[in-house]
Amino acid sequence: MQRIFVKVLVFGLGIALINTLILSLVLSSLFTRYFYRSYSSLLLEALKEGKEFAEKYEHEEIKRPAFERALVLIDRLEGVHFCFLDAQRRILFTTAPQLDIGPTQGMLAKLNKELSSQEFCSTFFTDPRDPSLDIMVGATRVNDKILLAFFPVADIREPVRESVMLVWLAAAGAFLISIVPAYLISRHFTRPLEEMGQLALRMGKGDFSVRFHTARQDEIGQLARTLDAMAAQLEAIDRERQEFLAYVSHELRTPLTSIRGFVQGMLDGTIPPEKQQSYLARVFSETERLRRLVDDLLMLVRLRSGRFTFNWQNTDLRRVLTTVEEVMSPLALEKGVQLEFRTREELPVYADEGRLVQVFMNLVDNAIKFSPPGGRVLVEAEKSDGLLRVQVTDEGPGIPPEELPRIFDSFYSGAARSRSELGTGLGLAISKLIVEKHGGHISVQNRPEGGCTFTVLLPAGGRGVNHSGTGAISDR
């Protein structure tokens, strides 16, 4: 994970460095252009002022000493030197004789050409032998004479160099300062990834209780919540796996122990021949119990995987309940329990009739088993708001409140599982899956006066009802 942190940090610093370099180059270019334009404007302004005095001098409004003092004053105030040339282009006067810079024939030819079309002109002249002698020159005509204003480019280069140096120093300082936020930002994004990596390693070792609690709303937060959801799902799967192993071990041990004891007793003569028929019947009963357990496990697996084939058809739920009543009435009579079915109207449903019979037989069977002698089991069915509602109510001991949320879990081994103690213990889990495959919902509630009520909701209607198995109907 440190490699990711280093990569993010280097990437961020690289971007900062590139941006700093580009910005520094742009600012350096802008500062250079600004200074040259400023000095060019200063040169032309000084040239205009000098021309005014030159014209006064030509018109004999001022004497030569006054004219020369005026140009020297402008030179000192503006830093712009002057050179006044006669008609033969000889120097009449210069304010900077110490520079030993004079107009060349090429310079004069170029200036004469530009002055032929404009009043003022300015240009650069370079000296290939000595770059320090490069000058910026402005020129204007005063009658047949030429007034030159100039200054060495070296006077510009120094402030330009200082400005560019300040730009690069500021850029270097900004880059150094950016290292701290770059480090903090890199840690901000990579630390959660590092922690999630550690949690993933713990999950890989079988510890699915880990959670990455975060309030972030970005992609990292979404990834953390996805990992939490995956961990919760894996924890549930692991818990179910452990419950499955405990359940199967318990359910197989009892009948196998009985079968082994009976067979061994017959083999070693402990069980006399005249009693072997009775014990063989008990062996057969235990093998039937094992067969039902295997069948229920296979059905559970096929329902969960979506490989179970349903025989969908339009039917009437009253016919399903009539079948359940005919089958379960003898058991209720034997137990001394009153079994009552109430249906008020036609109850059309698109379903697998055999699977619904299985669901309601399981619910009624449990209700009869746990209702006391003389008690009553009531099955009510009605149609309301596009739903078929079937309620199975008993007068038994009810279900411990803390176990109600898990009563439909496949291999839950709490006290509530004793409601199916004479069966395989998977009936409620299978019933829940069948109802959900019909697009319905099943729930259970304890009654204040005792017993409990199982409620099954199914979408009413014929073909075309959604049977995606998503359990879209909520408990009402």
**pLDDT at residue 455, rounded to an integer:** 95
Helices then strands, each counted (H, E), the chain? 9, 12
Please name the amino acid found at residue 242.
Q
Contact 381, 317 (CB under 8 A): yes
With a cut of 80, say whether residue 44 has pLDDT above it. Answer: yes
Check pLDDT > 90 for residue 436.
Answer: yes
Token code pair at residue 65:
């000493």
pLDDT of 418 = 47
pLDDT single digits (tens) 416-434: 444 444 455 688 888 999 9
Q: What is the pLDDT of residues 128-165, one digit of tens each?
A: 666 666 788 889 999 888 999 988 877 777 778 888 88
Is pLDDT at 102 greater than 90 in this prediction? no
CATH 3.30.565.10 boundaries in the chain: 310-414+421-459
Domain with CATH 1.10.287.130 in the chain: 219-303
Per-residue pLDDT, 287: 86
Q: Which residues, including other chains, have CB under 8 Å from residue 415's CB and lie 6 or more apart?
A: 400, 403
Helix (H, G, I), strand (E, B) or coil at 315: strand
Residue range 287-334, pLDDT digits in tens: 887 887 788 778 888 887 788 889 999 999 999 999 999 999 999 999
Q: Where is average pLDDT lowest: 78-87, 215-224, 239-248?
A: 239-248
Q: Which CATH number fits domain 1-159: 3.50.50.60, 3.40.50.300, 3.40.50.620, 3.30.450.30?
A: 3.30.450.30
The residue written with tokens 């069966």 in the block is: 423
Binned at pLDDT 50, 70 and 90, residue 204 comes out as: confident
The Cα angle at residue 120 between residues 117 and 126, in degrees rounded to 5: 100
Residue 65 CB: number of other CB atoms within 10 A? 8
CATH of segment(s) 219-303: 1.10.287.130
User: In CATH, what is the architecture of 310-414+421-459?
Assistant: 2-Layer Sandwich (3.30)
For the cut 50, the answer to whether the pLDDT of residue 63 exceeds it is yes
Whether the model clears a pTM of 0.85, i.e. scores above it, the answer is: no
User: Coil, strand, or helix at residue 323?
Assistant: helix
What mean pLDDT is reported for the chain?
82
**pLDDT tens digits, one per residue of 255-298:** 788 888 888 888 888 888 888 888 888 888 888 878 877 887 78
What percent of the chain is modeled with pLDDT above 70? Answer: 89
Please write the tens of the pLDDT for every residue from 366-419: 999 989 999 999 999 999 888 999 999 999 888 888 888 888 877 665 544 444
Write out the residue limits of the CATH 3.30.450.30 domain(s) in the chain.
1-159
Residue 352: what pLDDT? Answer: 93
